[in-house]
Structure 1
Amino acid sequence: MTLTQLRYVAKVAECGSITEAARQLYISQPSLSSAVRELEAELGIVIFNRSARGISLTPDGSEFLSYARQILEQTELVEQRYAHARPSKRLFAISSQHYAFVVNAFVRLLESVEADEYEMTLRESRTYEIIEDVAGYRSELGVLYLSSFNEKVLRKLMRENHLSYTPLFDARPHVFVSTSHPLAGAESVTLAQLDAYPYLCYEQGTHNSLYFSEELLPFESHRKTIVLTDRATLFNLLRGVNGYTISSGVLNSDLNGDDIASVPLETDETMQLGYLTNDRARLSPMAARYLEELRSLVASEGYDVLG
């Protein structure tokens, strides 16, 4: 087993593709595949599941990668200390449901970074893919919400994937609407009052169970529904078709503009926002700094920070 093989495995896991990893490593795909297979044969485990859809880490592969990353991190420290090597890029990746406060904290992190080079990734993603990203080491953190409806199912998935969930804050559900919407100035609204307007929600792909819905109260029926994949389009349609969506109520005018209103929704349901970490990996200093920014932002919005 060599450091080169460990670097190869880490890059393949990061890219989720042998072809892309080979391109970034500047080696041929057959050479990379051969190196990984030789390592698997030496260790007596299968690190990657291979299929027509791509590759993914096996349970043994996930455990091995956690150890490999620790070795690579320590190697970089030794090289920087004694070989006067150029410091490595600051790396950080997070996957999240579509929340403005997550993006705002990401912006704050970037503003605080004092480095000549860095590579940061923010993935606004589907619920199931967030869990996959953190379990597969593509992201260090994953932000999503739990409710009385989805908690049992999502926590089971977390346990199966060796993930921990840390609560950030509890929120009462709100609806986002355009400031020109007839209900924008209401003290609160009911779903019955909203029934005539288009309901906007995020598409969840093949894992489209109600338990993976990004919006609270997924079991409620709506006369008009528009399914979307990105936050910019959703906010444009809030303005364009007098639509509405259900969320935590945390808005940011710098990111969303001044023409979106947040109105409390009358319901007994609550949602808890929190973040996922991988039990088999240590958080990087950059991830820890991001969490500091996230907690600070949540507190500045008037919420009690839970963890």
Structure 2
Amino acid sequence: MDFNQLRYIVEIVETGSISKAASNLFISQPNLSNQITNLENEIGKNIFYRNNRGVTLTSYGVEVYHYAKSIVKQFEIIEDKLLTKSNENKIKIASFGSEVINFQFFEVCRRYNNENYEFELCESGVEESIEKVIQRDCDIGIIIYSEFQRKKLLQYLAAEELELQDLFVGEMKVHMSKNHEKSKMAILNKDDLQGLFHVKKTYLFKGMFSLNYEMEYLGIPDTNKTILANGNKTYNDALHNLPSFAVEIDWKCKKKIHSDLARIPYEGKRLDITCAMVKRKNEILKEELLFFINKLIESYS
């Protein structure tokens, strides 16, 4: 068995045809067929059913395909990393998407503004941010978690050889437009939110570290009137143009950041959320990243 044979299996499955796969792979069809037959003979099991309409995977072949696909994908990632011309003057940060993070990211851009410098801030949920750090698509991840998620998060990070550094803490509050009639209230309860759209950032409510349990813990009404926003613009537009609310973190910042959203405590339980950094274990961070982290701690701790 060799890597090319696994690549051939993936191509055949994804094109649905040996002839199309052979064309894409720039080899002859008989040669491709022989390679697959040789592999089947070597392992003693059929990977494909063959008939006049083409080929389909056997039940064993389905398993082989999934393993082959994983190996081919990993090879492509490694190949891309090794062959792509790398820019040493580059930082990439995965973040949960917040003005808190954006403000300090722009400070880094201002300070390290060489002509050939590249800055990238990727907006993603906790799980996706961690995956970007694992795959080296990002240098660090800025994530959020609640006390209910901490144990599971630490176990997950340890298994992936990653480290966690807590940065600062905020409190979950109801956010709504300052133009909303209820935005001047000192505290909100379940009845105050009835009939309003619940606006959610999609990536914060999916995966193993979603905030769904946290909403249940706080007693936020489970309403079908939900708007899932994939970006900050849609999120803010929904809150300003519809009778709506969101439940977000109120970060205590030493420097006032302009916002058109009111942040109002919710009656009943308090829930703190921790903002933390995820990095690869024992990896020394660039000066620019250390500056970014220190600015976050300085401003919000």
Within the alignment, does 1:246 sit opposite 2:247 as a pair?
yes
Within the alignment, does 1:55 sit opposite 2:53 as a pair?
no
AA aligned to 2:234 is: T
Question: For the residues of structure 2 that align with 1:272 and 1:217, how far apart are their CA atoms?
Answer: 16
Q: Report how many aligned residue pairs link the two structures.
A: 226
1:216 touches 1:247 (CA, 8 Å); kept in 2? no
2:127 touches 2:208 (CA, 8 Å); kept in 1? no
AA aligned to 1:282 is: I
Query: Which residue of the partner structure matches residue 151 of structure 1?
Result: 150
Query: Which residue of the partner structure matches residue 19 of structure 1?
Result: none
Question: For the residues of structure 2 that align with 1:215 and 1:104, how far apart are their CA atoms?
Answer: 29
Q: Structure 1 residues 136, 110: closer, same or farther in 2, change over 3 A? A: same
Deviation, structure 1 residue 54: 7.5
Q: Structure 1 residues 89, 245: closer, same or farther in 2, change over 3 A? A: same
- RMSD (Å), alpha carbons: 3.5
What TM-score results when the alignment is normalised by the length of structure 2? 0.65
Structure 1: unaligned runs, 5 residues or longer? 1-29, 31-48, 69-75, 77-87, 299-304
Deviation, structure 1 residue 243: 1.6
Show the 5 A alignment for 1:206-217: 208-209=206-207, 211-213=209-211, 216-217=214-215
Q: Deviations over 1:12-43 (max 9, x none)?
A: xxxxxxxxxxxxxxxxxx9xxxxxxxxxxxxx
What TM-score results when the alignment is normalised by the length of structure 1? 0.64
Q: Structure 1 residues 50, 99: closer, same or farther in 2, change over 3 A? A: farther
Q: Structure 1 residues 187, 247: closer, same or farther in 2, change over 3 A? A: same
Question: For the residues of structure 2 that align with 1:166 and 1:290, how far apart are their CA atoms?
Answer: 13
Q: Secondary structure at the match of 2:100?
A: helix
Query: Which residue of the partner structure matches residue 288 of structure 1?
Result: 290
Show the 5 A alignment for 1:42-121: 51=69, 55-56=73-74, 89-121=88-120
Question: For the residues of structure 2 that align with 1:202 and 1:54, how far apart are their CA atoms?
Answer: 33
Query: Which residue of the partner structure matches residue 45 of structure 2?
Result: none
Structure 2: unaligned runs, 5 residues or longer? 1-24, 26-66
1:97 touches 1:124 (CA, 8 Å); kept in 2? yes
Deviation, structure 1 residue 53: 11
Deviation, structure 1 residue 280: 4.8
Query: Which residue of the partner structure matches residue 271 of structure 1?
Result: 273
AA aligned to 2:240 is: R
Q: Deviations over 1:179-235 (max 9, x none)?
A: 111221111223442132111112249x93463238942565224211111111101
Q: Structure 1 residues 144, 107: closer, same or farther in 2, change over 3 A? A: same
1:50 touches 1:56 (CA, 8 Å); kept in 2? no
Query: Which residue of the partner structure matches residue 260 of structure 2?
Result: 259
Deviation, structure 1 residue 255: 12
Question: For the residues of structure 1 that align with 2:68 and 2:258, how far apart are their CA atoms?
Answer: 44
Query: Which residue of the partner structure matches residue 33 of structure 1?
Result: none
Q: Structure 1 residues 244, 255: closer, same or farther in 2, change over 3 A? A: farther
Query: Which residue of the partner structure matches residue 225 of structure 2?
Result: 224
